[in-house]
Amino acid sequence: MIEVRIGKSFPSGKESAGFSLDVEFSAEAGISALFGSSGAGKTLTLDSIAGFARPDAGRILLDGAILFDAVAGVHLAPRDRRCGYVFQNYALFPNMTLRQNLEFAAERQPRLERHRRINETIERFRLGDVAGRKPHQLSGGQKQRCSIARALVGVPKILLLDEPSRGLDAPLRADLYAVLRQVHEDFRIPILLVTHDLEECFQLAQNMLVMREGRIVQSGPPRDVLSRPASREVAQLLGGFNLLQGEIRALDPGRNSSRIRVGEFELTGPYFPGHLIGDRISICSRTDAARALPRDGRPSENQIAVELLRVIPRAAGLRLEFSGELAAECPGGEIDAAVTDWVLEFPPHSLQII
């Protein structure tokens, strides 16, 4: 298990804003995704765990061993932390063959054990045909597998991956995901994965840590996070949500229903415990739950009048974007884009408070 509680600050400069990292979390064996936009502090968190960055405050424990303790003055060197790290740019030694890269990473192991483990690792990651090649002679997928193999050949207690699928096309990405699932099954160690790809979280992670401006703003299984974002900011980070501001006009716990005033329209939603009539609230609804219809007269039950701004083709259909920063997913392939007056219909069960 990895236990992290760290803080680190960077002052503002003439051409740079200040930044403060303040995170606390723990992760057991399995894949945990650090999800967030660029600049949220994800890579800095990995670098602090690996020992490449020194926090200003806090403590890091790995299987009970202290890697960093600001109060006690403990800051182990990276080579002493038993952290496998897969960098964005692979960081393979260009003057070494693939096998030599692995030998360097396993140099602390006994000679016979080192030889056996390197051969097993090369076979496990399907690198036998290219073991004698140097990095510039490898494909992107081979470099990625070699980077993961090198991180694991030294028998680490944790694996850190910084956007490992960056720059990979769809087939190589699928191959990488298969490799990481197998690593999870075989090694049974904590794996921390930095990503800003929501689909990657769903494909790989058992737990998701949503980061924003140096803080963890929500955590949990990816499906739970997606189904119930903790705040408007989290919903915006996740994408795929319509966000609305409204006022509660009626509450009926017996019927599990409510009435919410949104501009000049009223929506029926579920009952919202802990809230009162007259409360101003933020609500969200998945864009794939909204139904878009050409407007024909006055909007009816649970409909809001909108203006169609643009139509964006998608692999699975169309994305319709409307005024008010609202959107809907259309599974069909054709609509009349000349029609600008539409309504968006929100199913009551799709509305949730944030």
Tens of pLDDT, residue by residue over 208-251, are 999 999 999 999 999 999 989 999 999 999 999 999 999 999 99
Closest CA to 156 of 50, 3, 31, 43: 50
Question: Distance between CA atoms of 330 and 225, rounded to whole angstroms?
Answer: 24
Q: Where do the H-state alpha helices sit in the chain? A: 42-50, 98-105, 111-124, 140-153, 170-187, 198-204, 222-227, 232-238
Task: Give the pLDDT of residue 107.
Answer: 84
Q: What is the mean pLDDT of residues 305-314?
A: 91
Task: Give the pLDDT of residue 113.
Answer: 83
Question: What is the band of 334 on the pLDDT scale with cuts at 50, 70, 90?
Answer: confident
Task: Give the pLDDT of residue 247.
Answer: 95
DSSP 88: T
Q: What is the mean pLDDT of the chain?
A: 92
Q: What is the mean pLDDT of residues 30-55?
A: 95
> Is it the case that residue 168 has pLDDT exceeding 90?
no
Q: What is the mean pLDDT of residues 244-268?
A: 93
Task: Give the pLDDT of residue 18.
Answer: 87
Task: Give the pLDDT of residue 277.
Answer: 93
Task: Give the pLDDT of residue 17.
Answer: 84
Question: What is the band of 110 on the pLDDT scale with cuts at 50, 70, 90?
Answer: confident
**128-146 per-position pLDDT tens digit:** 899 899 998 888 888 888 9
Task: Give the pLDDT of residue 259.
Answer: 94
Task: Give the pLDDT of residue 166.
Answer: 84
Task: Give the pLDDT of residue 269.
Answer: 92
Closest CA to 308 of 276, 335, 287: 335
Question: Distance between CA atoms of 128 and 133, rounded to whole angstroms?
Answer: 10
Task: Give the pLDDT of residue 326.
Answer: 95
Q: How far apart are the first and last CA of the chain?
A: 32
> Is it the case that residue 111 has pLDDT exceeding 90?
no
Question: Distance between CA atoms of 128 and 156, rounded to whole angstroms?
Answer: 22
> Is it the case that residue 337 has pLDDT exceeding 80?
no
> Is it the case that residue 332 has pLDDT exceeding 80?
no
